[in-house]
C-alpha cells in the first residue's frame, strides 16, 4: 500500500509484521489495537497526527523521535509520553494516568491542551502545565465539578502562570450532565479575579452554552466517524468570529439607543433604522 498516508484502526490485532510492511504514514489513529510497535516505529519521522487509546507498547527506554508531529492524543497509554521528543507539537490531548508522565523536554510551541478525567482523576496542576507548556492559549477540561473549580482557583491564585491562556472550556465528564449553577458561578468568579490581576483576559465557556465548543476529540469517535468528527470538535476561533460575536452583542444596543435618540430629537416624525 505505497500510497496509504492515513490509517485508522480499532479493536483488531496486528500480528508481528516487519515494519517495512507499512508505508510512511502521516495520520495514525489506533484504538484497542494489539502489537502496534511495528506500525508506529516505521512512521516516527513522517507522522503529523497521532491518536492512541488503550494501547500497550513494549517497555523500552528508547527515545522516540517525532520531528513532524503537530497533533497528539493519548488516552490510557503508558510508557510512551516521557520517551517522546516532539519539538513541533502544537496540540496535545490526554486522559487518565498519562498526565502523571512528562515529556522529555518542555514544549514552548504547544498552544492547545485538553484533559479528560474520569470520576477519580484529579485535574492537571496549573504549576505543572506552566512548567511544561508555558504558552498554552486554549485549554479544555472535561472533569467533575470540584476538579474544575479547583483548577480555576489555582489560576486565580497564580496570575502569572500560563500568561498566554485566552480560552478555557469546561464540561462535566458525562456529556449529559452539566455543572450546577453555583459551581459555574464559582468558576466565573475565579476567572474574573484572575483577569483583573492579569493583562491577558481568559474567556470561560461551557459546552453547548456559548459559541465555543470543547477542544477535545475522542479517539473512538474519530475511528468510527472519521476526520469530520475531529474537525468539528477542534474548530478554531478566528478574528472574524470574534468580531461577529462582539457585533452580535452591540447591534441590539445600538438599535435601541439610536431609536431613543431619534424620538427625542423629533417627536413628530418616525424614523426606521435598518441594519
pLDDT in tens, 146-191: 999 999 999 999 999 999 999 898 888 876 788 899 999 999 999 9
Given 45, 69, 98, the domain boundary residue is 98
Do 172 and 219 share a domain, yes or no? Answer: yes
Residue 49 domain-assigned (yes or no):
yes
Residue 272 domain-assigned (yes or no):
no
What is the arithmetic mean of pLDDT over 247-272?
44
Residue 260 domain-assigned (yes or no):
no
What is the arithmetic mean of pLDDT over 229-233?
41
Do 85 and 22 share a domain, yes or no? Answer: yes
Where do we find the cell 517495512? 20
Do 92 and 115 share a domain, yes or no? Answer: no
CA 85 – CA 75 distance, rounded (Å): 18
DSSP state of 211: S
φ/ψ bin of 96: left (φ > 0), alpha (ψ from -120 to 50), beta (otherwise)? left
Do 123 and 195 share a domain, yes or no? Answer: yes
**Total structural domains within the chain:** 2
Residue 244 domain-assigned (yes or no):
no
Higher pLDDT, 226 or 33: 33
Mean pLDDT across the chain: 76
* Nearest in space to 28 (alpha carbons), one of 44, 45, 4, 49: 49
Do 233 and 115 share a domain, yes or no? Answer: yes
DSSP state of 62: P
Per-residue HEC secondary structure of 82-135 comes to: HHEECCCCCEEEEEHHHHHCCCCCCCCCCCEEEEECCCCCCCCCHHHHHHHCCC
Residue 171 domain-assigned (yes or no):
yes
Do 153 and 57 share a domain, yes or no? Answer: no
Burial 60-74 (b: 16+ CB within 10 A, else e): eeeebebebbbbbbb
pLDDT at position 76 is: 83
Do 130 and 233 share a domain, yes or no? Answer: yes
Residue 57 domain-assigned (yes or no):
yes
Where do we find the cell 487509546? 53
> Cβ neighbours of residue 189 under 8 Å, at least 6 residues apart?
none
Residue 263 domain-assigned (yes or no):
no
Do 75 and 126 share a domain, yes or no? Answer: no
- Digit-coded pLDDT (tens) for 24-79: 889 888 888 887 777 888 888 899 999 888 888 777 778 889 999 999 989 888 78
> Cβ neighbours of residue 131 under 8 Å, at least 6 residues apart?
106
Query: Which range of residues forms the domain containing residue 31?
Result: 1-98
Given 98, 126, 154, the domain boundary residue is 98
Whether 55 contacts 29, CB under 8 Å: no
Helix (H) or strand (E) holding 22: none
Reduced to 3 states (helix: H, G, I; strand: E, B; else coil), residue 54 is coil
CA 48 – CA 267 distance, rounded (Å): 66
Given 48, 67, 98, the domain boundary residue is 98
What percent of the chain is modeled with pLDDT above 70? 71
Residue 79 domain-assigned (yes or no):
yes
Amino acid at each position: 500500500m505505497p500510497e496509504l498516508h492515513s490509517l485508522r484502526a480499532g479493536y483488531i490485532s496486528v500480528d508481528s509484521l516487519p515494519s517495512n510492511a507499512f508505508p510512511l504514514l502521516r495520520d495514525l489513529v489506533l484504538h484497542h489495537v494489539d502489537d502496534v510497535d511495528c506500525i508506529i516505529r516505521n512512521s516516527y519521522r513522517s507522522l503529523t497526527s497521532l491518536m492512541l487509546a488503550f494501547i500497550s507498547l513494549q517497555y523500552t527506554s528508547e527515545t522516540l523521535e517525532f520531528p513532524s508531529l503537530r497533533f497528539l492524543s493519548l488516552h490510557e497509554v503508558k510508557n510512551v509520553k516521557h520517551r517522546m521528543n516532539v519539538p513541533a507539537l502544537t496540540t496535545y490531548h490526554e486522559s487518565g494516568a498519562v498526565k502523571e508522565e512528562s515529556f522529555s523536554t518542555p514544549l514552548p510551541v504547544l498552544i492547545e491542551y485538553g484533559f479528560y478525567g474520569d470520576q477519580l482523576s484529579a485535574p492537571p496542576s496549573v504549576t505543572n502545565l506552566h512548567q511544561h507548556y508555558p504558552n498554552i492559549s486554549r485549554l479544555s477540561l472535561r472533569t467533575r465539578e470540584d476538579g474544575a473549580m479547583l483548577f480555576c482557583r489555582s489560576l486565580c491564585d497564580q496570575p502569572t502562570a500560563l500568561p498566554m491562556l485566552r480560552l478555557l472550556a469546561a464540561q462535566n465528564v458525562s456529556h449529559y450532565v452539566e455543572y450546577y449553577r453555583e459551581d459555574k458561578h464559582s468558576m466565573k468568579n475565579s476567572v474574573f479575579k484572575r483577569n483583573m490581576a492579569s493583562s491577558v483576559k481568559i474567556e470561560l465557556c461551557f459546552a453547548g452554552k456559548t459559541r465555543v465548543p470543547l477542544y477535545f476529540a475522542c479517539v473512538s469517535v474519530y475511528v468510527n466517524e472519521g476526520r469530520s468528527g475531529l474537525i468539528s470538535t477542534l474548530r478554531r476561533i478566528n478574528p472574524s468570529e470574534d468580531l461577529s460575536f462582539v457585533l452580535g452583542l452591540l447591534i441590539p444596543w445600538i438599535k435601541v439607543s439610536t431609536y431613543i435618540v431619534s424620538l427625542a430629537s423629533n417627536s413628530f416624525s418616525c424614523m426606521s433604522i435598518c441594519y
